[in-house]
Structure 1
Amino acid sequence: MDLALHLIHQHPTHRPRFESVLISLLNPIKGGTTELITYLMHDLRWSVVQNAIARHLATPANVSYPRQYAAMLDAFTDTWRDRDMYRRYNPDRGAHTH
């Protein structure tokens, strides 16, 4: 996930494409999607992605999705509850790897 974040930071002119790709992952939600989006969005905080998640949360396509969308939205906050799972966001765990 660090590699994906690094790639995004290295290519800011591709942001609209990255946003589109991330939004396309919101439905259907496949394995690893929630973790990838939360990890990236805790750093990037892109409002376009945040708004897309909120729209999907309002009208979820699957009964299991609201919990995952809520977890994704939580990553946009400084108090993201799962941030301590990742070294990048938890100084107690070391530096910059998952």
Structure 2
Amino acid sequence: MLVGLGAGPAMGGLTIATQNSVPRADMGTATAGSALTKQLGGLFSLACVQSLLTGPEITAAGVGSIVAWIGGVAGLLAFAALFLARDVAVAGPAGVPTRSG
């Protein structure tokens, strides 16, 4: 429940960031692509968690471990996506925008 309450409000920010990163003519396509990616990510993570939780013995420590591993993998995938993205504005150490890629 806490993960859902924390991740839910972040979804709107991701949509806004997606819309601000593309030209106005491509805004609909980018928004739809973002929504599709969120749906596929939710589908995949739900299937993984469900298959992991259907084991013979479920404990609180086991559930916490599963959530931690999934969060870690999701974080690594998010960083990989940022590094692979081209022309993304990244704030420099003094707050001066720089370009990656």
TM-score by length of 1: 0.30
Between structure 1 and structure 2, the one with the greater Rg is 2
More helix by share: 2
Q: Give the TM-score normalised by the residue count of structure 2.
A: 0.29
Higher relative contact order (CA 8 A, sep 6+): 1
